[in-house]
């Protein structure tokens, strides 16, 4: 099973997933290319459900299928991508039971993320766009609850993504570390990767254990504003004292013109006396 989380905040978009893969009563977290983050030409894709569909995406990617040129500029283009995907499942892979009465059934759910938008795709092909965050797969309820509670408290979208994933891993027996997180940046897209269809390398941050939020202290905005206002006079006085001290130190370090004149006078007197002695001895 899988947990997928995407978060958008402060101009950044992140996508993350765990690495747990199950088969019956067995599971693995150390599969080769075990990351569930798929890098298409113009978006990142992640899926929860049958791993067979991951194989299909890889096959279509390697074959440079025309659907891989989709730019995902809006919800309609995302929908078109999955219509094409569903058609390929029926035509090329014969993996869909066309005898069912339902309109469509992909078995899996997806998150498709661009540098600007987060899209969730259900098993029946319905596409929804999410403004702030989204979660799909096992443990999604825990992730959504976590993100609802902390979204306005943390500014870092990557940290929000990590915590959403960790919440699912903590409560769901079908989610488990390591956790892979990638920032969805426009500079990463525009061409098919020669390294394969999975996100990899420096672009991916992997967390092997849960860290929680040990350094986070939540304070109501009213109390924060009150504390900031109360601390302002003290901070202003401290700054004023510091400026005065610097000015005093600067004044002390500067040579005194009066002392220089005295020193110069004494030196001149000694020179005159020395000159007179030399003259008399001659």
For 123-150, what is each residue's pLDDT tens digit?
Answer: 999 999 999 999 999 999 999 999 999 9
The whole-number average pLDDT for the span 17-36 is 94
The residue extents of the domains of the chain are 3-207, 221-281
* Tens of pLDDT, residues 252-262: 666 655 555 44
Taking alpha carbons only, the member of 200, 157, 178, 133 closest to residue 11 is: 157
Q: Is the pLDDT of residue 179 over 90?
A: yes
Helices 157-171 and 140-150: angle between axes, nearest 10 degrees: 140
- The pLDDT, as a whole number, for residue 104 is 67
| CA dist 249 → 134, 205, 240, 243, 246 (Å) | 58, 49, 14, 10, 5
What is the topology classification, in CATH, of domain 3-207?
3.60.20
| Cα–Cα distance for residue pair 189/72, rounded to 1 Å | 12
Mean pLDDT over each residue of the chain, to the nearest integer: 86
pLDDT at 27: 94
Confidence check: pLDDT of 279 > 60: no
Averaged over 60-70, what is the pLDDT?
94
Q: Which of 136, 78, 89 is nearest to 110 (CA)?
A: 136
What predicted TM-score, i.e. pTM, was given to this entire model?
0.76
């Amino acid at each position: 099973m899988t947990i997928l989380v995407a978060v958008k905040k402060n101009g950044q978009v992140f996508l993350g997933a765990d690495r747990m893969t199950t088969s019956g009563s067995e599971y693995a977290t150390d599969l080769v290319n075990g990351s569930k983050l798929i890098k298409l030409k113009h978006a990142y894709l992640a899926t929860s459900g049958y791993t067979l569909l991951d194989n299909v995406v890889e096959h279509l990617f390697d074959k440079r299928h025309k659907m891989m040129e989709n730019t995902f500029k809006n919800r309609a283009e995302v929908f078109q991508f999955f219509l094409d995907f569903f058609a390929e499942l029926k035509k090329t892979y014969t993996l869909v039971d066309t005898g069912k009465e339902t309109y469509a059934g992909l078995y899996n759910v997806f998150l498709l993320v661009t540098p600007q938008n987060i899209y969730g795709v259900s098993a029946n092909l319905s596409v929804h766009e999410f403004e702030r965050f989204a979660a799909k797969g096992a443990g999604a309820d825990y992730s959504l609850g976590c993100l609802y509670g902390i979204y306005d408290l943390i500014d870092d979208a990557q940290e929000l993504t990590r915590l959403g994933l960790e919440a699912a891993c903590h409560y769901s027996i079908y989610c488990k570390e390591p956790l892979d997180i990638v920032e969805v940046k426009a500079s990463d897209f525009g061409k098919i990767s020669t390294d394969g269809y999975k996100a990899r390398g420096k672009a991916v941050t992997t967390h092997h254990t849960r860290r929680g939020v040990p350094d986070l202290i939540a304070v109501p905005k009213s109390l924060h504003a009150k504390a900031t206002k109360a601390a302002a006079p003290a901070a202003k006085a401290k700054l004023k004292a510091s400026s005065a001290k610097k000015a005093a130190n600067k004044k002390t370090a500067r040579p005194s013109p009066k002392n220089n004149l005295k020193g110069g006078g004494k030196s001149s007197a000694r020179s005159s006396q020395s000159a007179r002695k030399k003259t008399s001895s001659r």
